[in-house]
């Protein structure tokens, strides 16, 4: 019996050790693939925050996968300690305390008045679990024209990005929905209105940036929509 009990204890210990090594040590607040919508003027901090899900501090490493970034924009790239004016090939983040969710990787964008898009991707992993690698993506869309994204604070459009199906929800009735592409061409949509919500499906949805306009009560609103198929 003693030998049998010892085997059980060893099995339990091995299982706990395996779970510790292979468990998720961190998560990404809001997801690892995020969209950001800066104005053409000014700047915006595009940050993906990392939460330490463990009981001990963690040390994360990162490596660049790909960068598609407009040459007319300026930027800075930051891990949770250092900021530089180029996209680092790789690096180490400072220790993230248990429960902390403020540490981030960040791209601060200065579009200099030019509307365009950018996609920046990095791998991130715990130094203690180098085989468990996450990919984070900054999808940055600078809006065309002034006041194009004057969406009411009482209205939400979700999910965004989406695959051609989304919901517009507001405090008052939503009506007269129109979708246009970057060339100003109107895109056909079908919609089901239920009071203060509209369920919208884009016909033959193609990946890209679109401008969505609608009436919230008697006021016309506009926002930017991203379709990713």
Q: What's the pLDDT band for 213 if we cut at 50, 70, 90?
A: confident
Domains of the chain: 26-141 (2.60.40), 156-227 (2.60.40.1220)
pLDDT at position 3 over 60: no
Q: What is the pLDDT of residue 202?
A: 93
44-72 b/e (C-beta count within 10 Å ≥ 16 → b): bebbbbbbbebeeebebbbeeeebebbee
The answer to whether the peptide bond before residue 159 is cis (omega within 30 degrees of 0) is yes
74-119 residue pLDDT tens: 999 999 988 999 999 999 999 999 999 989 999 999 888 888 889 9
pLDDT digits (tens, 9 = 90+) for 46-85: 999 999 999 999 999 999 999 999 998 999 999 998 899 9
Enter the tokens of residue 59.
């040390």
pLDDT, the chain, mean: 82
Gap between the Cα atoms of 52 and 119, Å rounded: 25
**What stretch of H or E contains 11?**
helix 2-22
Query: What is residue 15's predicted lDDT score, i.e. its pLDDT?
Result: 40
């Amino acid at each position: 019996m003693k030998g049998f009990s010892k085997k059980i204890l060893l099995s339990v210990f091995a299982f706990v050790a395996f779970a510790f090594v292979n468990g998720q040590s961190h998560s990404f607040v809001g997801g690892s693939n995020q969209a950001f919508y800066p104005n053409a003027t000014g700047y915006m901090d595009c940050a993906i925050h990392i939460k330490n899900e463990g009981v001990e501090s963690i040390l994360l490493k990162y490596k660049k996968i790909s960068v598609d970034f407009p040459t007319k924009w300026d930027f800075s790239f930051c891990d949770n300690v250092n900021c530089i004016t180029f996209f680092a090939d790789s690096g180490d983040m400072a220790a993230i305390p248990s429960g902390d969710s403020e540490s981030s990787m960040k791209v601060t964008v200065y579009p200099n008045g030019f509307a365009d898009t950018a996609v920046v991707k990095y791998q991130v992993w715990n130094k203690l679990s180098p085989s468990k690698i996450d990919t984070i993506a900054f999808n940055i869309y600078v809006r065309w024209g002034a006041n194009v994204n004057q969406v009411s604070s009482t209205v939400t459009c979700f999910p965004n990005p989406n695959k051609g199906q989304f919901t517009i929800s507001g405090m008052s009735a939503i009506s007269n929905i129109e979708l246009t592409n970057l060339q100003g061409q109107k895109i056909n949509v079908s919609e089901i209105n239920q009071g203060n919500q509209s369920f919208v499906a884009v016909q033959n949805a193609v990946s890209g940036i679109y401008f969505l306009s609608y009436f919230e009560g008697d006021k016309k609103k506009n926002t930017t929509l991203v379709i990713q198929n």
